[in-house]
Amino acid sequence: MDSLGRYEQQVAWTVVGTDIGPLLLAATRDGLVNVVFHATDEVRDKALDRLTSRLGTEPVEAPESPLLAEAIRQVAAYFSGERRDFDLPLDWSLISGFNRQVLRELASGVSYGAVVGYGDLAGRVGQPGAAQAVGVAMGSNPLPVVVPCHRVVESDGGIGGFGGGLETKRKLLALEGVLPEPLF
């Protein structure tokens, strides 16, 4: 507790190796709060500074933390092909409004091995014509992979953009059987 008798926010983090490179996972008592692609030292440090600023407490490296244990297990199972869906408590505190609404719909309504168009996802949340805004929501997703923004594609069959890079998006879609495995 802090000096006013309030419970302080605890944020635990670790970096896990995956087939798409290192991922930073961060969790609070409420659930997984952040997943960051390409978590090299520099990327990791910037992400941790952002978390400190946004959550008001400095994250603690704690790979053995009970807050992270299930997330680590499920991420490993996903990349090994043993898990298709994540069943984790999520802390949505880093996102709000339309973006949160879109990401919640994505998490609950677009299953493993399926894709959805930006415009279709906009329609699902009652905002037809807001495809670009959905793209912004995907770009601000604090929980990629777990909240599968890689499953959102262009309506004309294009792969669309991706904050983790197009090669990462292709690998995730190949893992889920949406795209063929790359030959090289």
Catalytic: which of 149, 152, 172, 175? 149
Residue 173 contacts residue 115 (beta carbons within 8 Å)? yes
Beta bridge partners of 122: none
Measured distance CA(140)–CA(151) in Å, rounded? 15
Measured distance CA(11)–CA(62) in Å, rounded? 9
Residue 149 falls in the annotated catalytic set: yes
Strand pairing category for 152-153 and 116-117: parallel
Measured distance CA(103)–CA(169) in Å, rounded? 17
C-alpha distances in Å from residue 46, one per residue of 51, 53, 154: 9, 11, 30
Residues designated as active site? 149
